[in-house]
A and B are shown apart, each in its own frame.
Chain A
């Protein structure tokens, strides 16, 4: 049971997301995208959700002005693929909160991350809805803390070399004389986060 690709297509015919589980050149990908888009957009509402394209099958479903399309082998089960698509939509809806096309345009990385938690090499790798969402939120928290920590640790060697700051060990605000409160608040905010960041990182 292997999904070959997942494409999100808007009602205007714009591709909003494409995930490929097999290796193809850009030209081949563009051709598939074009052909499949034309096929799916031309379907009437009461028509079947499955259609044939070359040697494979295409499964699609329409949700809120977006078409979710999956290409599968001719030997794969279409109904299960439909369920996989539905599961993906549910996860996105839970994560974004009433997902709309704009969310996928402006926050596309998360759409990919959710799909990656769901499908690995075209196969379902996590069937628990709760686990997928938990991992994505953990990832969010980790990204945030890691980002702060990394920025601060990169600054550290230079801060200690500034005359007068050689005794600074990273705790508390930077003792920069007189120059605006902005630098102080930056460093104190980061300094206070470093501790909590480390907990998440190693915890």
Chain B
């Protein structure tokens, strides 16, 4: 399960459920706590899940659904934005990996202008809320040099996905309906893209399919593609570090954005995992060498051991580990005993021999 979430936001009856059904294959379940006499229970606060699968990764992303009041002026969305700008909501906004704003296509030419300007205002409010959130967060960050960059009015500091999805108007029965849907107007993609781009939102027409002139996917496929490009399982710190590495122009970096060749000698060219194995093996070899030395010099101490050390064949794995432990202890005792008179050394050696007997 991914740590980040998708937020699907829109006024009531904007087609969020229709959209989610197409995207995830199922509709979110309505909350159990809705009043029985509600004409329509609110969709705010519901959750759902999206399964993403690509050739590089597979994950499940939780979806939050939220709604704001539909008002003629913008108080509905402004109230929503201010609630999301509160201190309590900081965590919520930080947990977002994608924001999908859903709106209905206008049904007639008269409504077109109104819908267009309303969407623009609403997107701007959402954009301002995100900007304020990420500006205040970056201000707290220890990397002081990044503060200057935040003066530019854009959302490049937020690495999440922002989409504005146009859903066919309610007079259309289903998306898969083959009858020509005359009810919703054709939206000019270029016009809407240019309208919403300054706020960092990509315009998507849910009714479109296939590819455009640039070979780009359209509609639902594009939504899925855009969501797949986000690193759902990365932490904020590693995503930031990685982004930094990309801008610097590193052609090699690990998932934490660190250049592998810095601070390592030239021989460290193979993977970290293998170095670990090598080190372990070196330890075991050293222990074995030590054991051979010990048996040659201090045969008094090692009388109990002789049976083990005298073996000429290769030793089984489990004995190796035990032996290693014993060797390390012996080495310690030897070092300790170096400065002590003979009596003390004998005492130490005796206690070690007892421990060894117990181990064996």
Q: Residues on A close to B: CB < 8 A?
A: 10-20, 26-27, 29-31, 33-35, 37-38, 41-42, 44-45, 62-65, 100-102, 105-106, 108-109, 112-113, 116, 147, 150-151, 154-155, 158, 161-165, 176-179
Contacts and interface: CB of A to CB of B under 8 A. Distances in A.
Contacts of B22: none
Nearest to B148: A27
Nearest to A14: B159
B270 A151 contact: yes
Contacts of B274: 151
A11 B202 contact: yes
A20 B214 CA distance: 26
Contact of B155 (A13, A19, A150): A13
B149 A26 contact: no
Contact of B194 (A35, A37, A44, A176): A44
Contact of B251 (A109, A155, A164, A177): A109
B225 interface: yes
A10 B229 CA distance: 9
Given A12-B200, A41-B197, A177-B314, 9 more contacts: A10-B229, A13-B200, A16-B246, A20-B249, A42-B197, A65-B226, A112-B251, A151-B274, A163-B312
B270 A154 contact: yes
B346 to A, nearest CB: 31
A13 B248 contact: no
A182 B202 CA distance: 50
How many B residues are at the interface, by size bracket?
A: 35 or more
B156 A102 contact: no
Contacts of B252: 109
Interface in B188-205: 190, 194, 197-198, 200, 202
Contacts of A29: 247-249
A163 B247 contact: no
A27 B145 contact: yes
Contact of A163 (B156, B217, B229, B314): B314
A52 B319 CA distance: 72
Interface string B119-154: 000000000000000000000000001001100101
A131 B282 CA distance: 44
18 contacts: A15-B246, A20-B249, A26-B244, A26-B248, A27-B145, A27-B149, A30-B247, A34-B152, A42-B194, A63-B215, A64-B215, A65-B225, A105-B229, A108-B251, A154-B270, A154-B278, A163-B288, A164-B312
10 nearest A-B residue pairs (beta carbon): A112-B251, A164-B314, A106-B56, A64-B215, A20-B249, A65-B216, A18-B249, A62-B214, A101-B229, A45-B190
Contacts of A10: 229
Contacts of A108: 246, 251
A20 B246 CA distance: 11
Nearest to B191: A44
B149 A31 contact: yes
Contact of B314 (A15, A112, A165): A165
A108 B155 CA distance: 24
A113 B252 CA distance: 10
B162 A12 contact: yes
A155 B311 CA distance: 23
B88 to A, nearest CB: 28
Interface string B324-357: 0000000000000000000000000000000000
Interface string B173-191: 0000000000000000010
B229 A176 contact: no
Interface in B153-173: 154-156, 159, 161-162
